[in-house]
Amino acid sequence: MKETINLLKKHNELRVIDEELDIYLEIPHLGYAEVKKADGGDALLFTNVVDKKTGKKFQEPVLMNVFGSYKRCELLFGRTIESVADEITKLLHMKPPAGFMEKLSMASELFALKNIFPKRLKGEGECQEIKYLDDEVDLYKMPVLTTWEQDGGPFITMGQVYTQSLDGEMVNLGMYRLQVYDKNHLGMHWQIHKDSSHFFDQYQKAGKKMPVSIAIGGDPLYTWCATAPLPYGVNELLMYGLITKKPAQLVKSLTTPLYIPRDVDYVIEGWVDPSEMKIEGPFGDHTGYYTLEEPYPVMEVSAMSMKKERIFLATVVGKPPLEDKYMGWATGKIFFPLLKTTVPDLIDYHMPENAGFHNLILAKMQPLYKGHAKQFMHAFWGAGQMSFVKHAIFVDEKAPGLEEYEAFSEYILNRFSPKSMFITEGILDALDHSSPESLVGGKLGIDATVDNALEAPQLLDDDTLFARVKELVDDAKALQQYMTHTSNPITVISVNKTRKVKEYFDALVALSPHMRIVVFVDEQKNDVANPYMLVWRVTNNMDSQRDVFVSGLMVGIDGTNKNKLDGFVREWPDDVDCTVSVVEHLKKIGVWDLDETFYNKFQL
Ligand SMILES: Cc1cc2nc3c(=O)[nH]c(=O)nc-3n(C[C@H](O)[C@H](O)[C@H](O)COP(=O)(O)O)c2cc1C
């Protein structure tokens, strides 16, 4: 971590904050504001960390937003992300060498590969300079942050969770948030689709306690590797070796059989009793909503160890953009060659930051036959964590760049008709709140590789159209049209919902000569003039099986919060919002320097 600090300082990527700040909300709020600045702001080092509730002052600083820019990601990788992706592509396409020179070059590549395997060292590591065993264990010795007002408690947000299969043959590294329940119990938020959860099932069936070791800090690349969606059974530390060309050096935990990198800042070890589950959450999550309380396994901590001089690494999630935008950017690029092995005609893909990754993917492909894009949709919805994707738009090779949002939207809307849509059902991220039931729900694919061009509607200006809408739907409160120069303009209408949105849509079919795609949002907390946050809201809130309506050429999308009117029986979570008094305090002491316009833009 010290090396990381020096690296960030050298590249002018670090802001040191010496003011006394609380682990409860204050530090995370500043981290949240910083990453919303253009290019992700700076990494933040908080040197004067306190727990105002207990009066405790922490010796160690807290580091946040370490991955929060493209530049910092590449600094921490020690190379360009492109070069990692190229290397993986090369490995996947290795052919027998043709001549002597090729043999030589292949030999050197293969020789470098020997370094990818983690190395188990004898003896203890720097991470074990200070040890606390049994009764000495106290998780409150660490500056664990409480990030949001409605959170169920403090959460470790950048924990590297090391687990192994019941037979010890497979080792996994995953990043899951960890709720601090008391001085020696942690909630293990490994979701049902994740590898550690599969290991947990094995221990549960065998009725045996599961060992877990959690590391915090060390080389930040361990933390990124923990988020990498490698297939079940593949140790994520191999990725560390591949990127750095150095094997991760591991030492044995003090009280579990698991090995952890010797240079991490903290280690928390313990055992999960598979017969005990405890309510986890709520937690203000990266969907921008709170995830609801649910039972998760609990770890009883048997030992804690740490470096004498250490830094506590953390992140904060909420509404976009977030630090995970940059981590996800690296992941997307590095996993592209692997995804291509399933869908070889894929040219590029991109997950817009404001759709919270799995809620929307844009993909460019080379369509070779009828139905090719649909084949890709099925492949995506069946491929590892890619199968969480709710909405996927496919375009052909002639489309503009996937990040040229204006031109890209224009391209799709000029080819779109209701025939372009394909709606089906599949698995969902455990965090999805919109589906009528958890874990499964609607999937919407749009095949814009085919040109289904329509005639443009007869446009009305916003005021005239709103007056006409108001005559039919009295609950309508505001209206704004987008992309009116295309054959499928998008009309966003905010409503004070007193009926099912489908009823509003049916009433508006009378205006179908003037509208094509109509998106409904709640009046509360939405601004029809803020497309960035509208994309966030609508892709989060909709379940395509329930919320997409078609009448002739007109398509309706219900992006409102669901409730009894919709027959929705699950709890609908609150938005993650900053605590006003905390922001005011941070402004008063002169550390909050976020432009006021950003406050509205990102609906803090
Ligand atoms: C900031 C951040 C927080 C995350 N929190 C969780 C979490 O609490 N639970 C979870 O299952 N996945 C979480 N993830 C995603 C996992 O790290 C990711 O799916 C990883 O590939 C899981 O590893 P595994 O497949 O080896 O289980 C988080 C990712 C990030 C970037």
467: domain CATH number? 3.40.1670.10
Question: What atom in ligand 1 is closest to the CA of residue 195?
Answer: 27
Helix (H) or strand (E) holding 134: none
pLDDT at residue 594, rounded to an integer: 84
Q: Which mutation among 194, 338, 432 tests ligand 1's pocket best, with the greatest number of atoms within 8 A of CB? A: 194
306 and 353 in a common domain:
no
The ligand 1 site (C-beta within 6 Å) comprises 172, 174-177, 189-191, 194-196, 226-229, 315, 317, 324, 327, 385
93-to-35, 89, 348 alpha-carbon distances in Å = 38, 6, 18
Q: Which residue has the tokens 């709170």?
A: 290
Domain-located, residue 130: yes
Q: Is residue 559 part of a domain?
A: yes
Task: Concatenate the DSSP letters of all residues of 314-359 into one string.
Answer: E---SSSS-HHHHHHHHHHHHHHHHHHTTSTTEEEEE--GGGTTTT
Q: How far apart are CA 344 and CA 102, in angstroms?
A: 26
Q: List strand residue ranges (DSSP E) for 150-293, in order.
A: 155-156, 160-164, 171-175, 178-182, 185-188, 210-216, 249-252, 259-261, 266-280, 283-284, 290-291
Tell me: do 423 and 473 sit in the same domain.
no
- Ligand 1 nearest atom to the CA of residue 175, by list position: 17
My answer on whether 351 and 434 are in the same domain is yes
Determine the Cα–Cα distance for residues 225 and 171; give it in Å rounded to an integer.
13
371 falls within a domain: yes
Q: What pLDDT digit, counting tens, does each position of 278-313 carry?
A: 999 999 999 999 998 999 999 999 999 999 999 999
Domain membership of residue 420 as a residue range: 344-447
Q: Determine which of 78-82, 90-94, 539-543 has the lowest per-residue pLDDT on average.
A: 90-94
User: Same domain for 370 and 429?
Assistant: yes
Q: Tell me the CA–centroid distance for residue 227 and ligand 1, in Å.
A: 5
Is there a contact between 505 and 549 (Cβ–Cβ < 8 Å)?
A: yes
| Omega prior to 295 cis, within 30 of 0 | no
383 and 437 both lie in a single domain: yes
Atom of ligand 1 nearest to the CA of 327: 31
Chain segment 14-50, per-residue pLDDT in tens: 999 999 999 999 999 999 999 999 889 999 999 999 9
* % of the chain at pLDDT higher than 70: 97
Q: What is the mean pLDDT of residues 200-227?
A: 97
- The per-residue pLDDT for 598 is 85
Q: Among 392, 421, 447, where does a domain finish?
A: 447
Distances (CA, A) of 487 to 415, 442, 451: 8, 26, 12
**Mean pLDDT value of segment 81-87:** 90
Q: What is the CATH number for 268?
A: 2.30.110.10
Q: What is the DSSP string of 401-436?
A: PTT-HHHHHHHHHTT--GGGEEEEEEE--TT---SS
CB 164, CB 154: distance < 8 Å: no
pLDDT band at 96 (very low <50, low <70, confident <90, very high): low
Quote the number of domains for the chain: 3
Q: Based on the domain organization, do 359 and 288 belong to the same domain?
A: no
In a domain, 592, yes or no: no
Helix (H, G, I), strand (E, B) or coil at 288: coil
Calculate how far, in angstroms, residue 305's C-alpha sits from the geometric centre of ligand 1: 24
Per-residue pLDDT tens digits for 548-594: 999 999 999 999 999 999 999 999 999 999 999 999 999 999 999 88
Q: What is the pLDDT of residue 107?
A: 62
Q: What is the pLDDT of residues 131-143, one digit of tens each?
A: 999 999 999 999 9
Residue whose CA is closest, atom 23 of ligand 1?
Answer: 174
Other beta carbons within 10 Å of 95: 7
Pair (230, 370) in one structural domain: no
Which of these, 324, 310, 317, 238, lies nearest to 4 by C-alpha position?
A: 310
CA of 178 to the centre of ligand 1 (A): 11
Pick from 226, 219, 52: nearest CA to 156: 226
Residues of the chain above pLDDT 90, percent = 89
> d(Cα 230, Cα 39) in Å, to the nearest integer?
28
Question: What is the rounded average pLDDT for all residues in the chain?
Answer: 95
The answer to whether residue 455 is domain-embedded is no
Q: Which ligand 1 atom sits nearest the alpha carbon of residue 323? A: 1
Q: Based on the domain organization, do 440 and 478 belong to the same domain?
A: no
Q: Is it the case that residue 205 has pLDDT exceeding 90?
A: yes
Pocket test for ligand 1, best of 176, 239, 323 (most atoms within 8 A of CB): 176
Index of the ligand 1 atom closest to the CA of residue 430: 11
The pLDDT value given to residue 110: 63
Instruction: Count CB-CB contacts under 10 A for residue 568.
Output: 17
> What pLDDT digit, counting tens, does each position of 215-224 carry?
999 999 999 9
